[in-house]
Structure 1
């Protein structure tokens, strides 16, 4: 645990020095929200639950819960998820 924390700090400093985005260097989730119509999640760890009113996604830091109506997984790629519909709430659950 301590070694991983130290590695992440080193990677963060290297990213800052090289002017690289931190989320890509240490595999942090990147969440892009477009109004209440679309959510794009990069660096995810898979879909945990998928219903028209709720989608739960795993990330390195914990679980991301998207609630709303008519939610659809438009695209599921290894590195990126695209969710459309009427997004009402986004919650970060059990984040470390």
Structure 2
């Protein structure tokens, strides 16, 4: 485990690879308050027009808003549109 952490640290510092790639983190891109793009998710847990919960490695991402719709859902990517009021992360 220590060796893996050292390798990951080296990859992020010396090879200039982003943390989300090395540590399997999701990447969220929020455009205004109407468009959210999530890469590297682990699945959809809950969908309602006012709340969406997306699984991530080690937790969940909760999107709260109004008139939320899923524009695109692929294996590792999801696009959400609507009036996005908050995006929070909860570790499990």
Q: Structure 1: any 5+ residue segments left out of the alignment?
A: none
Answering whether residue 65 of structure 2 is matched by residue 68 of structure 1, we say yes
Give the aligned partner of residue 28 of structure 1.
Answer: 25
Q: How many residues align?
A: 92
C-alpha distance in 2 between matches for 1:40 and 1:57: 12
* Match among 76, 80, 84 for residue 87 of structure 1: 84
The runs of 5 or more residues in structure 2 that have no matched partner are none
- Could you state the TM-score of these two structures normalised by the residue count of structure 2? 0.88
Paired residues of 1:12 and 1:26 also in contact (CA < 8 A): no
| CA separation of 1:8 and 1:64: change in aligned 2, threshold 3 A | farther
Structure 1 stretches of at least 4 aligned residues deviating more than 4 Å after TM superposition = none
Change (3 A) 1:16 1:35: same
Structure 1 residues 36-65: Cα deviation after superposition (integer angstroms, max 9, x where no partner) = 001111110000000111000000131100
RMSD: 1.7
- As a proportion of its length, which structure holds more helix? 1
